[in-house]
């Protein structure tokens, strides 16, 4: 299995985030990817390589031009306000909610940040754009390799991506790597592609990007949005819109869900993906379903992830794995590579 590794990921390292009314150290840290890379190397599970560099047209297939221009220039705008801002991350503080206009980009920088974000837990740092941009290249490179005939590839990057929409960031995410991979597969000639999100938190950005599309099936197994972040999307009655009606499947589960019940939801998702007729699969590989995760609530154990990989392999689809969440830092490497190993051994 080829892994495309973002060697620039550590350029993005937030200082603090807003969590339950307090500024706390960020849960999303560079060590997450470092542990996965170390475990991949230890088990010798395929090759690790840098991504190909893609032009912005691939990004524009998913994200709006206005949003990309903001991401590219946000840090420079922040420094222009005050050179002392070099020691502070950008955190949103005001947002346009219902009845407010979003078609006009404000001149005020704080308002501009709020226009393109939805939470105060996603710090924008000096290296955010560089890291996110290289992460997108990893996802696109992984998809390109699958189109070329590989059975499976892995995009190992951070910041993660599945909470990012066409024109907004949040949930630690800025560019939607899974959506970019899926779109690349479509643009490469596949008529039907599926995205399966197994992160604890619903992939609201991915759902929003493809919600009215008949060619991309989105399925997500996640914590119930009535109690779990990102809260406002991910209910079971969200099934797609317009031409995309029926191509969206949400399987929300309660806190405390163990592997047996979680695996039943996975079986449901894979059956629907097969019924859809997908020709390739993109997996948003979130590892925060682990029982020891500090900001999540499922009860999967380390050994369960081998079986997750085996189940995914039985779909018999060319597969792009894209690294997402997982904040039990010491265990995230073993857990993530267990999925990949279970998948690879089943297809070997």
> Which residues participate in catalysis according to the annotation?
163
Alpha helices in 82-203, H assignment, sequence order: 109-115, 128-147, 177-187
- Judged by DSSP in three states, 267 sits in helix
Radius of gyration of the chain (CA): 19
**What would the DSSP string read from start to end of 63-86?**
S-HHHHHHHHHHHHHHHHH-GGGG
Taking the C-alpha atoms of residue 311 and residue 102, their distance in angstroms, rounded to an integer, is: 42
Long-range contacts of 15-24 (CB under 8 A, 24+ apart): 15/88, 15/89, 15/123, 15/125, 16/89, 16/91, 16/123, 17/91, 17/120, 17/121, 17/122, 17/123, 18/91, 18/119, 18/120, 18/121, 19/121
Q: In what order do the strands lie in the sheet with 319-323?
A: 48-49, 2-5, 152-156, 319-323, 280-285, 193-197, 216-223, 248-253
Per the listing, tokens 């629907």 go with 272
Beta strands in 216-306 (DSSP E): 216-223, 248-253, 280-285
């Amino acid at each position: 299995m080829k892994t495309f590794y973002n060697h620039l990921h550590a350029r993005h390292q937030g200082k603090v985030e807003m969590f339950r009314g307090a500024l706390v150290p960020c849960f999303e840290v560079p060590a997450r990817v470092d542990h996965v890379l170390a475990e991949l190397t230890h088990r010798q599970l395929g090759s690790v390589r840098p991504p190909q560099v893609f032009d912005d047209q691939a990004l524009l297939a998913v994200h709006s031009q206005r949003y990309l221009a903001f991401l590219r220039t946000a840090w420079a705008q922040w420094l222009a306000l005050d050179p002392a801002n070099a020691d502070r991350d950008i955190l949103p503080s005001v947002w346009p909610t219902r009845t407010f206009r979003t078609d006009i980009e404000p001149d005020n920088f704080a308002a501009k940040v709020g226009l393109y974000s939805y939470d105060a837990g996603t710090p924008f740092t000096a290296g955010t754009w560089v890291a996110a941009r290289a992460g997108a290249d990893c996802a696109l490179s992984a998809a390109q390799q699958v189109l070329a005939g590989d059975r499976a590839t892995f995009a190992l990057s951070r910041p993660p991506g599945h909470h990012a929409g066409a024109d907004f960031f949040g949930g630690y995410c800025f560019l939607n790597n899974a959506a970019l991979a899926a779109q690349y597969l479509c643009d490469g000639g596949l008529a039907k592609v599926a995205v399966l999100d197994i992160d604890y938190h619903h992939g609201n950005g991915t759902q929003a990007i493809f919600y009215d599309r008949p060619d991309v099936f989105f399925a997500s197994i996640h914590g119930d949005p009535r109690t779990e972040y990102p809260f406002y999307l991910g209910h079971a009655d969200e099934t797609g819109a317009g031409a995309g009606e029926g191509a969206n499947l949400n399987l929300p589960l309660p806190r405390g869900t163990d592997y047996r019940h979680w695996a039943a939801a996975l079986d449901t998702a894979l059956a629907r993906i097969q019924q859809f007729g997908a020709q390739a699969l993109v997996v948003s590989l979130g590892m925060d379903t682990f029982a020891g995760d500090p900001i999540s609530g499922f009860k999967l154990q380390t050994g369960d992830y081998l079986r997750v990989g085996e189940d995914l392999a039985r779909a018999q689809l060319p597969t792009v794995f894209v690294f997402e969440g997982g904040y039990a830092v010491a265990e995230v490497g073993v857990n993530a590579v267990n999925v990949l190993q279970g998948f690879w051994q089943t297809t070997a």
